């Protein structure tokens, strides 16, 4: 059995630039509340 959480159970947000949902990533673990955009490209677009 794999360790961790199933992908469908991860928290998600909607990107205001592209209006697509994106899921939690391990690199965002410390500042998930501050994450707004799904990628650098969307951040630059806004």
Residue 2 lies in a domain: no
Domain count of the fold of the chain? 1
Residue 1 lies in a domain: no
Q: Are 28 and 13 in contact (CB under 8 A)?
A: no
Q: What pLDDT is stored for residue 7 in this prediction? A: 79
Q: Which two tokens mark 14?
A: 């909607």
Question: What domain range is 41 assigned to?
Answer: 10-45
Residue 3 lies in a domain: no
Q: Which two tokens mark 8?
A: 């469908």
What pTM was computed for the model? 0.78
Residue 37 lies in a domain: yes
How confident is the model over 1-46, as pLDDT tens digits? 567 778 788 999 999 999 999 999 999 999 999 999 999 999 998 7
């Amino acid at each position: 059995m794999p360790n961790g959480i199933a992908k469908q159970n991860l928290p998600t947000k909607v990107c205001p630039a592209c209006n697509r949902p994106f899921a939690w990533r391990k690199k965002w673990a410390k500042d998930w509340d501050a994450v707004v955009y799904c990628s650098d490209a969307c951040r630059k677009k806004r």
